[in-house]
């Protein structure tokens, strides 16, 4: 996905994140995505209710995750995680990410995560809270139904 990211954060590969060859372990790419997501949500003032610490105690378990690895990140590399797209369903959010190795100036991975709004108190999935939906739309998220209808798909 070309264009400006909706949000971006910079990180560095630490020793504890690498394998014996000094390459960032594949699982740590997913940790970097979550770290970026958390930084983005915090910048929008959404973390208190999202992490389930304050009412309404809503969490967002992952129901799907994928990553297309293009080039390794190595110990000491600086990299940028970009949120390149956010699609909002009624109860789910699909985040698209790009990871760029800033040390080399090259792409490292294209990834996505799907999370579902879940009420701890009710023990079930729920619609995405309106405040969260509004703030995500303000930074460039799209409604999945509208996006799907524009492509001629069912909502």
Give domain limits for the chain: 8-142
Q: Classify domain 8-142 at the CATH class level.
A: alpha beta
Residue length, the chain?
155
C-alpha to C-alpha distance for 26 and 33, rounded to whole angstroms:
12
pTM of the model: 0.88
- Residue for token digits 């798909």? 153
C-alpha to C-alpha distance for 135 and 5, rounded to whole angstroms:
16
The beta strand positions in the chain, using DSSP E, are 7-12, 58-59, 62-69, 78-88, 92-101, 106-116, 118-119, 124-125, 142-143
Local confidence pLDDT in tens for the 155 residues of the chain: 458 999 999 999 999 999 999 999 999 999 999 999 999 999 999 987 666 666 678 889 999 999 999 999 999 999 999 999 999 999 999 999 999 999 999 999 999 999 999 998 899 999 999 999 999 999 999 999 754 545 444 33
């Amino acid at each position: 996905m070309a264009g400006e990211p909706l949000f971006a954060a910079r990180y560095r590969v630490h020793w504890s994140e690498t394998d014996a060859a000094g390459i960032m372990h594949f699982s740590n790419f997913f940790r970097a995505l979550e770290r970026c997501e958390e930084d983005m949500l915090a910048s929008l003032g959404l973390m208190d209710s999202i992490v389930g610490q304050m009412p309404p105690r809503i969490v967002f378990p992952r129901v799907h995750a994928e990553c297309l690895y293009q080039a390794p990140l190595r110990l000491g590399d600086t990299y940028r995680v970009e949120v390149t797209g956010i699609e909002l369903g009624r109860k789910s959010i699909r985040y698209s990410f790009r990871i760029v190795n800033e040390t080399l100036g090259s792409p490292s991975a294209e990834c996505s995560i799907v999370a579902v709004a879940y009420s701890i108190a009710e023990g079930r999935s729920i619609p995405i809270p309106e405040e969260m939906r509004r703030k995500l739309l303000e930074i460039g998220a799209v409604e999945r139904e509208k996006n799907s209808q524009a492509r001629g798909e069912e909502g």
